C-alpha cells in the first residue's frame, strides 16, 4: 500500500490507457506518481488439515453397519456415517467403509 506524501490518503491505481503506463494517484489532492516496480501480492497457502471420516479401527467396532455393496470387492456389508456437509436444506451425505478387512475402501453417497 502506498500513501500520499501530501495528505496521507491511500493512493489508488489509475489503469493506463494507450501509451500511458499505470500510475498511482491521490483522490483528494493532485498528487500523481508513475509506478516504477512491479506490483506483487504474495500470500502463503495454508493447507487445511484433512480429518478422516472414520478415525481408527477401534471406532469401527461401535459404528453402525448397513447392507450395501462395496464398489471394489462387492462385499455386501459396510460401516456408515452420516454428516451434514452442505447447507441445511440439502440432504445429509452418507460415508461408507467396507467391512472386509482386506478391502477397507471408503466411499460416499450424496
Say whether 103 counts as a known binding-site residue. Answer: yes
Name residue, grid cell 506483487: 40
Q: Is 99 annotated as a binding residue?
A: no
Q: Count CB-CB contacts under 10 A for residue 65.
A: 13
Distance CA 33, CA 22 (A): 9
C-beta separation of 33 from 14 below 8 A = no
Q: Is 26 marked as a binding-site residue? A: yes
33 is in an annotated binding site: no
Give the residue ranges of the annotated binding site.
4, 7, 26, 29, 70, 73, 98, 103
Give the residue ranges of the annotated binding site for Zn(2+).
4, 7, 26, 29, 70, 73, 98, 103
Amino acid at each position: 500500500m502506498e500513501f500520499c506524501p501530501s495528505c496521507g490518503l491511500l493512493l489508488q491505481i489509475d489503469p493506463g490507457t494507450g501509451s500511458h503506463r499505470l500510475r498511482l494517484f491521490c483522490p483528494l489532492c493532485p498528487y500523481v506518481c508513475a509506478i516504477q516496480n512491479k506490483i506483487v501480492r504474495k500470500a502463503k497457502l495454508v493447507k487445511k488439515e484433512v480429518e478422516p471420516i472414520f478415525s481408527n479401527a477401534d471406532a469401527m467396532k461401535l459404528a453402525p453397519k448397513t447392507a450395501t455393496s462395496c464398489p471394489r470387492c462387492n462385499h455386501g456389508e459396510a460401516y456408515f456415517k452420516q454428516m451434514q456437509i452442505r447447507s441445511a436444506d440439502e440432504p445429509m451425505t452418507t460415508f461408507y467403509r467396507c467391512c472386509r478387512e482386506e478391502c477397507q475402501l471408503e466411499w460416499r453417497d450424496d
